[in-house]
Structure 1
Amino acid sequence: MTQHRANRRSMTRRLILWLTGATTAFWLIAAGLGLSVMQEEFGEIFDGSLQETAERLVPLVLDDLRRREESASPRHIESESDEPGEEYLVYQVRGADGQILIRSHDAPAAPFDVPLKPGFSTSETYRFYTAKAPDGTIFVQVADAMANRDEAVTEGAMALFLPVLVLIPVSISLIWLIVRRALAPVDDLRRAIEEKDGGNMAPVPSRMLPRELQPIARSVNHLLTRLQAAFDAEREFTANSAHELRTPIAGALAQTQMLIAELDGPKRRRAQQVEASLTNLGHTAEKLLQLARAEAGIGAGSTNVDLARVLELVLTDFQRGDQAPSRLRFERQEGARLEGSYSEDAFAIVLRNLIENALLHGRAEEPVDIRLETGGVVRIVNGAAPLPPGELETIRKRFGRGNTGSPGSGLGLSIAERLLQQMNVRFDILSPATGRKDGFEVVMRFGELAA
């Protein structure tokens, strides 16, 4: 089941996901590499500033120490403002013995925990640079808090990654538009192929398709041409066979009936069996002729017709015949109408097949109800035992008869369903019937019709 669902995933969706994922990954990798280079460059800039500050402080400190008297406690160089402020860089001036001689305002009172050795050194909280006076007695140690560097790197990372977060949804939209536009011919070709069935074998338009899809369209059109030829040959053979069989079957049936009138005893019964076989053969030939007409696509109509009048005419024809006319009951709801652009001939064939099936396969002691309801709904209900599971699909197939002892060819339902498909009419088969525990019901829904 999982594999089946995976095979049905949209190619457009997969392309969008893969392209978006690849683009996002490239952006994140590029941003990560940029951040790494930025962090290295920031380190070099901060270290350069730290070294330059320490080296510039050495002559200033030496000059200040010469002009001032020795003090017993560490001093710091006074700033012009009396209000202390946060210093970006702090420093300590230490003697050769490690004692603090001068310190900046924010520098700690305790000596830095780094050796008095020129060069860079690092602790958990500071990055140091130590500069030494020419005589080696004075050391200037400038410290840069690691938090300052972390803050700079964090802000740089935000500057790199925040645009990526904005560009991802924009890229998804652009990729979606580009992919949909690029795959639009594929979708058009898919829809054109989906429309093909036994009644629509027109060639697939291929002139406007991209070069990559034109071989597919040509192959499909070649296959449609072969299928159309095969369907035409099948329909012509079926129609010609059924038509040519009607006359000799009718002649043989007439001769058999005359023979029955002249015979008696066992020979008469045998002649009657021949008559029944010829009658069934004639019925089958008639169904084959109807099937050929259904396959030819006679269900489509071009003018607005009143199908309710056709329904009443077909029922009148049945009531005048000899096929249990008293069992038919017709009910028409008040205001019910059945109008639209349909084929009257096709609808008459549908009704004849469905009513014949209801009379033939329904219980002989129960009536066959035909109802025309508002909303363009026609129901035909007959009494019968509920169909076992699976048999409903069997009887819908061509020549499918199900478990029945009644005569028939198994073509009635398939002919009716084929014609109703051409008329764009919904066709439902229910067993048991609506509101009953048994019975067989066919429902034709002609859609929203004038009430």
Structure 2
Amino acid sequence: MTTRRWSLARLLRWRLLGAVALLWTVAAIVATVAVRYELTMVLDSALVSLAEQIPLETDAWNQRPLVASLPTVPQEEVMHVLVRNQQGAVLRQSGPTRSVPWPIDAPPGVQTINGWRVATRRTIDDRVIVQVGEPLNMRRQALAESTAALVLPLLALLPLATWLIDLLLRRSFRGVQQASEQLRARPEADISPLQVNDLPTEFEPMVASIGALVERLQGVVRAERAFAASSAHELRTPLAAARAQAQRLVAELPEGDAHERALALVRSLDRLSNTATKLLQLSRVESGIGLEREPVDLRQLATLVLDEFRHHADASHRLTVQLPAQPVVVQGDMDALGIAIRNLIENALKHAPQAQVQVRVEAPGRVIVSDNGPGVARATLATLSTPYSRGSARTDGTGLGLSIVARIAQQQHASLQLESPPPGMDHGFRATLSIGDAPT
């Protein structure tokens, strides 16, 4: 079953935006209702005020011009003023000249009549009825314009609200981002507890639990490394003593089956001693020996490592060395790089017994160890840097040498390239350890 991945920041962003949009919608509805109510009150008051400006004279309506008594209504205005008698005859009117469907028996006050908003005023004896009206569609237009003037600025604030929410979320998750960056920047061997400032309180229990788990893991790893290192170290002395006794037995036994078994015992003890040495090296590498940084001269370091092999008769006549005239200085750990170079040379000598082995140091920071032996199959080449992998089952190697080199290269931010056969050759093997450019 695949677990669906989700983002807390994205979830909060959309929920906050949804809440803001909902509040905006409610605010827009409330604003529209309020504007409609206020606009209706204001316009109705205007109709009533205009109707009250017209005098209700009950005598001599036909003897004097009423037009002089009517308020002036411009032609472009939409208000219609209508004065009628109780029989419905139009005494005077202003505004649009078209007929209006206003009933003569409309009660006093303001009503909605046939698409008009009409204010009606009557004399006591109903001899004169004054009506002032305004089309409702004009009110709707005014309401739409007023609502737009109020709501559109709120709508324009939505992008600003989105930007502010993103900004606040980024600042709120800054501590989580710092924790993630710290974890990515850590060396692989660093399993110390995580220290993060400016972390939201909701994440503190989780970080504390992770820290406690890391501390327990750190204790287990330390115990495992200490056991491997102490075991390998403690084995070296009894193995050396056992090998000395086996060699003495070989010297004392006459030629025969017993002598051959004694020789086989010496070879087995050599392999066991070599395995203990590799395990000790691996323990040192896993403990973080390759995390240190200091100027290291690869030319001088290669010379020191090669001096160890000059005491072996088989290695001394098979090794050829090419060193530059000038120092090749890189940033790294001398012990870790020395272990890596030694393992590359041992690997070439062991897995190509009859071949010539060349060690070459090049600027800006490469150590190349190659041989003209049979090489390895391409399918095997990709697995040689994994622990306990050997190119040939017939060799006496432990399968740890190249994996130790690969681990050191990883800690030193270097690269290990294995080629078989090398370019331009039909057979052979070449390992290139590229440490980096010379420091400025």
Query: TM-score of the superposition, structure 2-length normalised?
Result: 0.78
Q: Bigger CA drift: 342-351 or 56-65? A: 56-65
Q: Percent identity?
A: 33
Aligned residue in 1 for 2:106: 118
- Show the counterpart of 2:261: 270
Cross-structure match for 1:305: 296
Structure 1 position 286 matched with structure 2 position 283: no
In structure 2, how many angstroms separate the alpha carbons of the residues matched to 1:407 and 1:63? 137
CA distance 1:289–1:43, shift in 2 (3 Å): same
Aligned partners of 1:93 and 1:138 also within 8 Å:
yes
Amino acid at match of 2:118: F
The structure-2 alpha-carbon separation of the partners of 1:364 and 1:66, relative to structure 1 and needing over 3 Å to count, comes to farther
Select the residue among 19, 24, 30 that pairs with 1:22. Answer: 19
**Residue 427 in structure 1 maps to residue 415 in structure 2:** yes
Aligned residue type for 2:268: S
Q: Secondary structure at the match of 2:378?
A: coil
Distance 1:334 1:155 in 2: 87
Q: Distance in 1 between matches of 2:291 and 2:342?
A: 18
Q: Does 1:255 align with 2:265?
A: no
Match of 1:387 among 375, 379, 401: 379
Could you say which residue in structure 2 is the equivalent of 1:168? 158
Change (3 A) 1:338 1:118: same
TM-superposed CA distance for 1:435, in Å, is 6.0
Structure 2 counterpart of 1:110, one-letter code: R
What is the CA deviation profile of residues 81-103 of structure 1, one whole-angstrom value per residue up to 9, with x for unaligned ones? Answer: 9xx65215233334556565433
Q: Find the aligned partners of 1:56 and 1:418 in 2 and give their Cα distance.
A: 101
Matched, 1:413 2:388: no
**1:192, CA displacement in angstroms?**
5.1
CA gap 1:93/1:302 in 2 versus in 1, 3 angstroms: same
The SS at the match of 1:57 is coil
Q: CA deviation at 1:345?
A: 1.4
Kindly indicate whether the alpha-carbon contact (under 8 Å) linking 1:336 and 1:373 is maintained by their aligned counterparts in 2: no
Judge conservation of contact 2:174–2:199 (CA < 8 Å) in 1. no
Residue 343 of structure 1 and its aligned partner are, at CA, apart by: 1.8
Q: Which residue of 2 aligns with 1:238?
A: 228
Decide whether aligned partners of structure 1 residues 208 and 94 sit closer, same or farther in structure 2, where only a CA change above 3 A counts: closer
Letter in 1 for 2:285: A
Q: Return the alpha-carbon distance in structure 2 between the equivalents of residues 61 and 371 of structure 1.
A: 127
Instruction: Check conservation: 1:117, 1:130, Cα contact below 8 A.
Output: no
Secondary structure, counterpart of 1:416 in structure 2: helix
Aligned to 2:50: 53
| Residue aligning to 1:72 | none
Name the SS for the 1:387 alignment partner: helix
Secondary structure of the equivalent of 1:59? Answer: coil
Q: Could you say what secondary structure the match of 1:111 adopts?
A: coil
User: Are 2:37 and 1:40 equivalent residues in the alignment?
Assistant: yes
Deviation at 1:254, TM superposition (A): 3.2
Give unpaired runs (5+ residues) of structure 2: none
Give the Cα–Cα distance (whole angstroms) in 2 for the partners of residues 349 and 418 of structure 1.
11
The Cα offsets for residues 15-74 of structure 1, whole Å up to 9 and x where unpaired, read as 3443343233323322222222322332333234334433543627988655139xxxxx
C-alpha distance in 2, partners of 1:64/1:114? 21
Q: For residue 376 of structure 1, what is the aligned residue in structure 2?
A: 365
Distance 1:60 1:426 in 2: 109
Q: How far off is 1:112 after superposition?
A: 1.3
- The alignment's TM-score, normalised by the length of structure 1, stands at 0.76
Rate the CA distance shift 1:333–1:308 in 2: closer, same or farther, 3 A.
closer
The Cα shift of 1:347 comes to 0.4
Greater shift, 240-249 or 364-373, is seen at 364-373
Q: Which residue of 1 aligns with 2:64?
A: 67
- Could you say what secondary structure the match of 1:409 adopts? coil
Cα distance in 1 for residues equivalent to 2:199 and 2:346:
50
Task: Please provide the CA RMSD for this pair.
Answer: 4.3
Structure 2 CA distance for aligned equivalents of residues 275 and 140 of structure 1: 131
Distance 1:20 1:232, change over 3 A: same
More displaced 10-residue stretch of structure 1: 315-324 or 350-359: 315-324
Q: Which residue does 1:104 correspond to in 2?
A: 94
Q: How many residue pairs align between the two structures?
A: 432
